[in-house]
Structure 1
Amino acid sequence: MLEQLWKEMLRISDYLLLTMQTEMFFVIYVLLGLSLLFLLLQPFVKFVIALEWSVFLTYIMAVILMFWLTSAMINVEDWRYVLYAIIIFSIILSIKRGLKLRTSKYKP
């Protein structure tokens, strides 16, 4: 079955390349990539929800949205500084979470 699916994908990609419909080719690859990522991430998200890691999920969503907004609104030549900001943000969240756990641990 996988071999037949692969042959069909090759046939479609050959047709798209021959007809020079690059936009359609791009849309199909993005759609396949999103579908694959969705299927790969779904068990992880269910696991994180089961552990009630709402801070972690919020952090991941904030980072992804920030990457999207940054790439959409600003022409960033060097992504290194965006990664530095994310690392600093992560450290601040970790310290805040650690202090919260430490103070709640020692409450009478």
Structure 2
Amino acid sequence: IPSHCTAYNCTLRRKIETSKLGMTFHRFPRDYGLRRKWEAALRREGFAANDGWVLCSDHFKLDEFDRDGQVCRLRPGVIPSVFNFPAHLGRVRARKTMTKQP
């Protein structure tokens, strides 16, 4: 099992210190469609996660977790959305097409 977060420029590793701080690590979903959405959210060209890749809890909003006792799980269907991307990894926006007026 990888011991580090897969997100761009995230240096968090699975250690005793991160565990004490309440950090959790979450495997990519088994559901193919949801896994593809997670991969797209990472903005890593050509990236395809395997069953062992993980993301740390920093990349999810607080309300996306179910915390029951000592177990911390992501809510069903959640997609990671908290990232600190540099400008060159910005989202690609659709271009407006201009039509000529007669």
In which range does the TM-score fall when normalised by the shorter chain? under 0.3
* Larger Rg computed on CA atoms: 1
Structure number with higher strand proportion: 2
TM-score by length of 1: 0.23
Structure number with higher helix proportion: 1
Greater relative contact order, per chain length (Cα 8 Å cut-off, separation 6+)? 2
